[in-house]
Structures are given as C-alpha cells and as structure tokens.
Amino acid sequence: MKCNLKTDEIAIFDEIFDSKGFKHFVSYFNRLPFVFRQSQGWLKIWRISDGQILSSPESYYTKMPTNTPIDWIHNTVYHIAKNYLQDICGEEGKDWDEIVYTPYIYPEGTKISWHDDHGYSAACIFYCHEEWSPHWGGELMVAKTPPFDSVLDGVEPDDEVSRKYTNKLLNTYGYGTYISPVPNRMAFTKGSVWHGINRVDKSAGDHMRASVVAFFKKSDRPASGCLAGSCHSEDKGSVSPSEASQPCQGS
C-alpha cells in the first residue's frame, strides 16, 4: 500500500491488497446481489439524467465483523483513517462513530452530478474492478469551490432538484482535480468537498465501474448522504437558502 496524494481535503492510497487478495475481493464483489438503486425511490442526489446505478446491501462498522471480505476493506479504511487521515476523516467519537459500507456499480452511461457529502465527516471509495482504461470515464472529480454560504446571495429558495446554487458554486473557479478509478485504489474525500463522478463512457462497454464506498458518520444523524458511488439522500422538500447551506442535508 502506498500513499500517492495527500492534501487537506483528499488522499489517494494505491495497491491496497496484494494481487491474490485483490482478485479474491473482486470475485467476492461479483457474487454479491445488486438492485437498481432508484428502485427504492428516487434519491435526488442523482439527477434524473444521471442514469441507473446498482447497489448491494450495506455493512456497518458497529456490527463488524461480517466475516466476509468487507471486513478487509474496513480494517484498511479504519487503519488509514485513524493513523494518517484524522484531518480529513475526523476523530472517532467526536466527528464519527459509524462507518457505512456500500458496494456500487456504475455501468456505462451513468454518473453522479456535483454534490457534497453533507452530514458525513468523510468518505472513502475503494475501486474493485479488474481493469480500467483512462478512456472509459468514471473519474472522481473534485472541485475547488468558494465557501458555500458565500454563493447564496440572490439565490431563490431552492429544492433538491433545482439546486440553483450549483452554477455559482462550481463556476466561481471552474477547475479542480480528477481521480481515476484505478483498480485496487482507495480515494478519501472530506465531507465538505464538492465532487461528482464523470459519466462512464460508452467505450467502457461491459466494463462496470465497481466500488465499495465508506461513509463516516455520527450514528445519531440521519443515514442519508451522498457519494461517489453512493448517496443516500432524503426528500427534504423545499429549502430556504439558509437551509440550502446544507445541500446534502440529512445526507
């Protein structure tokens, strides 16, 4: 395992497992049951044109061990978060006391639009497809943005579908960083970071973007949020600009 990037907001660790261990995990992942995520209702963190992604049942840190290879992911995520990334992930007990793990598949043609992971202190994505071409899309994109409250002037009361603050928020700087879904990689992001997943390109064909997403959260907060491979958002109805300062609220 090696750290390839570390900033105040994001970190990348590569070569998480050895070759044999990674193949074993891929085989386990491919045997999991999946459903189309939106079959459980429209989670509006995905825009209507983002496409149909699939997910598998969640696992919880507080209920470990699962006695499945998900425990391997957790042991690594927990070790990295506690020993190297407290500035990104936060402090156990104070900022989070639960980690929720969800397997996700983004097939060709799918994406998740810009959002933050409000309600979570941090997230981690582990990429578990066997190969990924740089031409296939599916990159995690991380935007440089101004403070959220600073873009709310003049923004009308909003809702989860309109998100009228997004243009101002993302266009103030209009640039950022991308992280390719390199197999056997973990990408950590602070919950306040604005990010999205680039649409998986047609050229990926049957190559699915496979990941396990970990969310760090307080157990007394609603289990809904977003993510790069994962979001759980509740319908909050219309929100005022001040409420909209919590864009993925409840999430």
Nearer to Fe ion, 16 or 187 (CB): 187
For residues 109 and 204, give the distance between their C-alpha atoms in angstroms, rounded to a whole number. 9
Nearer to Fe ion, 228 or 244 (CB): 228
* Smallest gap from residue 153 Cβ to Fe ion (A): 25
Nearer to Fe ion, 26 or 111 (CB): 111
Phi and psi at 176, nearest 5°, equal 180, -150
Q: Which tokens hold the place of 212?
A: 């396990």
* Smallest gap from residue 249 Cβ to Fe ion (A): 14
Binding region for Fe ion (CB under 5 A): 117, 226-228
Helices 19-30 and 70-83: angle between axes, nearest 10 degrees: 120
* Smallest gap from residue 79 Cβ to Fe ion (A): 22
Nearer to Fe ion, 115 or 207 (CB): 115
Q: Which DSSP helix (H) or strand (E) runs through 1?
A: none
Phi and psi at 28, nearest 5°, equal -60, -50
* Smallest gap from residue 77 Cβ to Fe ion (A): 16
For residues 183 and 32, give the distance between their C-alpha atoms in angstroms, rounded to a whole number. 18
Our CA dihedral for 231, 234, 238, 241, rounded to 10 degrees, sits at: -50
Nearer to Fe ion, 26 or 248 (CB): 248
Q: Which tokens hold the place of 122?
A: 């941090």
* Smallest gap from residue 197 Cβ to Fe ion (A): 8
Amino acid at 94: K
Distances in whole angstroms, Cα of residue 249 to Cα of each of 41, 132, 143, 159, 231: 18, 33, 19, 11, 12
Which residue reads 């296939």 in tokens? Answer: 136
Peptide linkage before 65 cis (omega within 30 of 0): yes
Phi and psi at 203, nearest 5°, equal -65, -10
End-to-end Cα distance, the chain: 31
Nearer to Fe ion, 24 or 218 (CB): 218
* Smallest gap from residue 1 Cβ to Fe ion (A): 23
Nearer to Fe ion, 69 or 195 (CB): 195
* Smallest gap from residue 185 Cβ to Fe ion (A): 17
